Structure 1
Amino acid sequence: MTGPILQVALPSPLRRLFDYRAPRGVGAADLHIGQRVRVPFGKRAMVGLIAAISDHSEVPDNRLKPAEALLDATPVLPDSLWRLCQWTARYYQHGLGDTLSVALPVLLRQGEPALARQDQLWQLLPGAYPEHPAIARAPKQKQAVQVLAQHPHGLSHALISQWGLSRDTLSTLESKGLVQRIEQSPHHIAEPLPLLREAHLTANAEQRAALDAILNAEGFHTWLLEGVTGSGKTEVYLQAIERCLLNGHQALVLIPEIGLTPQTLNRFQQRFSAPVVILHSGLNDRERLDAWIAARDGEAAIIIGTRSAIFTPLARPGLIIVDEEHDLSYKQQDGLRYNARDLAVYRGHLEQVPVILGSATPSLESLHNVQQGRYQHLRLTIRAGNAKAPSFQCLDIRSRPLEGGLSRPLTDLVSQHLERGNQVLVFINRRGFAPTLMCHDCGWIAECRRCDARMTVHQSPPHLHCHHCNSQRPLDRCCPKCQSEDLRPLGAGTERTEEFLKERFADTTVLRIDRESMSRKRAMQEMMEIIHSAQPCILVGTQMLAKGHHFPNVTLVAILDADGGLFSADFRGPERMAQMITQVAGRAGRAEKPGQVIIQTHMAEHPLLIELTERGYPAIAERELAERAIAQLPPYRFMALLRAEANHARAAEDFLEAALEQAEALVAQHQLADIDLLGPVPSPMERRAGRHRAQLLLQAAQRSALHQLVHMLLPALEQHPLARKVRWSIDIDPLDMF
């Protein structure tokens, strides 16, 4: 066959490439790996990337279609990012096309040009002045000239209304030869500015030691920066970024939550005059593409983003930072189930740039990598400035009545802290008004009709809500089992706690911070402005409050129910509970005011709580690592979880039984050592969103053996007749066993 054959990676669940002829009129010299092409796929057109170029194809000539169009003159991804995507697809056993699709902004997946949007500016021409004869009798035009004279580098078209100008007025001035329209990048800097807007803080001895280690190393290194909350990890980041920018490079900073974006962006913009862009799912498609291009073209010096920002191209990569590296948000839980923290380390290796993983409560995986010599450990053990670590107290609530989830002694403490003009944080990791609705007469409980879970009671507006499948229904007026009307919400969620605190402290502002209250675009930013006004207030919220926020006026942190993590079915339960309590507690006493942490519990004598409050997270981590080693659990053993779900439980189980037989045959055939196949068993939540779920766990002592097995197993499963009757996926290094 004559002419080049394109092997195209398409966003498809199929783990294969698709062959096409080159588009008509496009020669071999115009084609490069990494360019986007639009191709016919079934009855529709799709955008994919050229993954290989060949001179032959296994597809018969009469079935080989030409691509419709070549969309780029050059590859859309730089070489290092292309290699990162290839490695990601291999490691997470995912299709290359789907992986590349995740790495691209939505508009590029749809075929939009990979070009930056230009700002339109209005600028005075030489010779224009307010008393010019051409505008002597035109006061609006005269005003416009006066305003533009204050902006010698041009006034953005988006801002003209804020200055009381209109497009018609400016167009008239343009026709008189007094004004011109110019276009430039929104990240354009008219003239060089000093890098620092404010001087960096004086580093203490521990910060200086960490910075010396980071700044004096060359090439790729991975540092685990373990610093107690308030110890100044961010200052270490900022000074490391300063050196990076002075060397003409760019810095990529990953954060776990969108809610952290405003304070992080503000902190960086206060310090640096260099352009900063953000990347997260809260942006619209155009904003995301603009930021992506600014990073790719080198116009943005600092890129701040959540999980998917790890795939952002950088023109001059110099530093990668992963803040709160332990956070589960870095692990994608569907589709391409990658871990952005681990990809950051591999990307640092590809780019040969340093990587900083920061946390007050490092993951056991990262601590294990320190033990193995893969990461270097840097510690910050004292709080910056004069701040002191908060005091801990476990408050036994057995036999104590609770109102809104708070005991009387805790309510009195809240009152004392507010009277001193301070702020209080109340942490309850349950959304809604109450965890469940129960019939007081017969014990009936409102359960989700599609999941093995109870419905959460919400009050604004009143309804029952399943937070697993998102199904909602009105509150029951009477018990469907005994017809009693005595239905009572049991337990407390954020709404109920908020309601009680508003009644108890009527003269104090109470702010609820959870997924529902923060759904508006600027909601978190507006809340932060109230909090940083330093007025006494009470913050009520879920895990969103535990992640990296700086609340200098919070002196009391109340954790309403710490018992859930003590008896978790997940082997990671103790680690996560210790991380959560430590992170939430770290919001207290971050300035000069001393902090106090109260943990309400029915298990005040539990060894885990005692060890955590007396010796801190490092002691818990050390103990958990020792127990994991004995039990041969991650990070000492490697896992992959094969999940299946179907409308009928038997279908999912039959598919996994077939997978088990195939896996056992492959293990025997290739003599793969020390591999355990556990299951299939129903998932801990067997029914979710109306589908029955089951799982098969694959464990191995060697990562290579596990990947070899999975690599051979998946193609066989794709061809199995039962594969079309179930929805199935593979999760490499799973963090959620549910």
Structure 2
Amino acid sequence: TTQAGLYMRLHMPSRVGDGALPFVRRVDMNHQPKKTVFSSQLLDAIRERVTRGEQILVLLNRRGYAPVLHCPDCDWKSQCPHCSAFRVFHKLDRTLRCHHCSFTQSVPRACPACGNADIQPLGRGTEQLEEHLGELLSDVRRTDGEPLRISRIDADSTRLKGELERQLAEVHAGAVDVLVGTQMIAKGHDFRRVTLVAALNPDGALFSSDFRAPERLFSLLMQAAGRAGRDAQMQRISPCEMWVQTFHPQHPLFEALKQHDFPAFAAQQLGERQQAQLPPFSFQALVRAEARNQAPAQAFLNASRDAGAGLAESLHIDIYPAVPMAMQRVANVERAQML
């Protein structure tokens, strides 16, 4: 749309605080031991900066302790009874919560299906990251000799009124050494002491069914990188960095991120979209319907498709049959869509 002249592209030639853009380091997790959360190189960098009185921001866009609780004996998983999604394990209050319909239950003492007492978390969220980082850095001391302090900012830790403001004030005051959080900490904050930003496991968006996901990921990572090195005076002492831990370090998205080159990323994305005839090289409309069951929702959409078939043909429009949405059921409501 900017190339067509419909929008004007605004370019910001300098940063707040006149600091340089952070140097982007990519860590190939294929070369790390299995189940590694923080590479040894990243841990060393965090230790070094904490001992110098600098702050670190760690980004993981997944809240909770683990996205799934499961039983290794019978393969039971914490499925939400009302949605096509798993309930997320929150360790602090020992609950399983659905982040789509808010259905909440206490964690069962044993597997509801087979009675196995050894049910285990699968995957990682910000809660687990905060806990794990505290264990790994338990020997690190601040410049005043005190143990380092880790804070977590996400939708769970800031639910109470005034909590977000209180935590941000602590970060600005230098009372926090490592800030762990979701996208809430990546945009719009002026953290003058942050010199290192680390993005963990951002690969999921690279292979999403939504063709816009890479664009959103690039925007998020660029915004996160912008939290580092906002004080030019501090940069003279310690150049800022962004670390990205990924299993696909050669992906064009990370190549463009390393150069802070949005035009190169946009050109690559536009080339892919042109080959696949995706927007902006075509127009798409997604029609959705909801019902208590999937059949009537799809029937309504297919009836609409049949009713407009003649007009669509004359206008050279393709209308595809109705299908369930990727998130098929939310709060006991079935959802279908037609492209």
Using the size of structure 1 for normalisation, the TM-score is 0.42
Count residues in correspondence. 325
1:522 partner amino acid: G
**Whole-angstrom CA distance in 2 between matches of 1:596 and 1:548:** 18
Shift in Å, 1:655: 0.9
User: Relative to structure 1, is the Cα distance of residues 385 and 462 closer, same or farther in structure 2, using a 3 angstrom cutoff?
Assistant: closer
Shift in Å, 1:630: 3.3
Shift in Å, 1:428: 0.5
**Whole-angstrom CA distance in 1 between matches of 2:278 and 2:159:** 38
User: Relative to structure 1, is the Cα distance of residues 379 and 437 closer, same or farther in structure 2, using a 3 angstrom cutoff?
Assistant: same
Alignment of 1:693 onto 2:326: no
What does 1:396-545 correspond to in 2, within 5 Å? 396-398=28-30, 399-402=32-35, 405-505=37-137, 507-545=147-185
Alignment of 1:572 onto 2:212: yes
Of 549, 558, 567, 2:189 maps to: 549
- Residue aligning to 2:280: 635
Of 22, 33, 46, 1:390 maps to: 22
Alignment of 1:656 onto 2:289: no
Contact 1:450-1:469 at 8 Å conserved across structures: yes
User: Relative to structure 1, is the Cα distance of residues 622 and 605 closer, same or farther in structure 2, using a 3 angstrom cutoff?
Assistant: closer
**Whole-angstrom CA distance in 2 between matches of 1:682 and 1:401:** 36
Contact 1:558-1:597 at 8 Å conserved across structures: yes
Contact 1:547-1:583 at 8 Å conserved across structures: yes
Partner SS, residue 476 of structure 1: coil
- Farther-moved stretch of structure 1 (634-643 vs 606-615): 606-615
- Residue aligning to 1:684: 326
Contact 2:222-2:260 at 8 Å conserved across structures: no
Of 554, 559, 564, 2:199 maps to: 559
**Whole-angstrom CA distance in 2 between matches of 1:667 and 1:491:** 45
2:318 partner amino acid: D
Partner SS, residue 638 of structure 1: coil
Partner SS, residue 10 of structure 2: strand
Contact 2:149-2:177 at 8 Å conserved across structures: yes
Contact 1:560-1:601 at 8 Å conserved across structures: yes
**Whole-angstrom CA distance in 1 between matches of 2:70 and 2:42:** 27
Partner SS, residue 11 of structure 2: strand
Contact 1:643-1:693 at 8 Å conserved across structures: yes
User: Relative to structure 1, is the Cα distance of residues 526 and 615 closer, same or farther in structure 2, using a 3 angstrom cutoff?
Assistant: closer
Shift in Å, 1:563: 1.0
What does 1:574-593 correspond to in 2, within 5 Å? 574-592=214-232, 593=235
Alignment of 1:603 onto 2:287: no
**Whole-angstrom CA distance in 1 between matches of 2:270 and 2:287:** 25
Shift in Å, 1:385: 4.6
Shift in Å, 1:523: 1.7
Contact 1:401-1:407 at 8 Å conserved across structures: no
Partner SS, residue 318 of structure 2: strand
- Residue aligning to 1:200: none
Partner SS, residue 320 of structure 2: strand
What does 1:716-735 correspond to in 2, within 5 Å? none
Contact 1:422-1:535 at 8 Å conserved across structures: no
Answer 1 or 2: higher relative contact order, Cα 8 Å, separation at least 6. 2
1:197-251: CA deviation from partner (whole Å, max 9, x where unpaired): xxxxxxxxxxxxxxxxxxxxxxxxxxxxxxxxxxxxxxxxxxxxxxxxxxxxxxx
What does 1:220-259 correspond to in 2, within 5 Å? none
1:429-487: CA deviation from partner (whole Å, max 9, x where unpaired): 11101111121233332211112212210012111111122111121222233321111
2:319 partner amino acid: L
**Whole-angstrom CA distance in 2 between matches of 1:402 and 1:416:** 24
Contact 2:170-2:176 at 8 Å conserved across structures: no
Shift in Å, 1:627: 2.4
Using the size of structure 2 for normalisation, the TM-score is 0.89
Shift in Å, 1:505: 4.0
Shift in Å, 1:618: 2.3
**Whole-angstrom CA distance in 1 between matches of 2:55 and 2:34:** 24
- Residue aligning to 1:617: 262
Alignment of 1:645 onto 2:290: yes
1:502 partner amino acid: G
Larger radius of gyration: 1
**Whole-angstrom CA distance in 1 between matches of 2:289 and 2:7:** 36
Partner SS, residue 231 of structure 2: coil
What does 1:32-111 correspond to in 2, within 5 Å? none
1:339-364: CA deviation from partner (whole Å, max 9, x where unpaired): xxxxxxxxxxxxxxxxxxxxxxxxxx
What does 1:53-452 correspond to in 2, within 5 Å? 368=1, 370-398=2-30, 399-402=32-35, 405-452=37-84
1:400 partner amino acid: P
User: Relative to structure 1, is the Cα distance of residues 540 and 393 closer, same or farther in structure 2, using a 3 angstrom cutoff?
Assistant: same
RMSD, aligned CA: 2.0
Identity among equivalent positions (%) equals 41
Q: Return 5+ residue gaps in structure 1 as ranges.
A: 1-367, 698-738
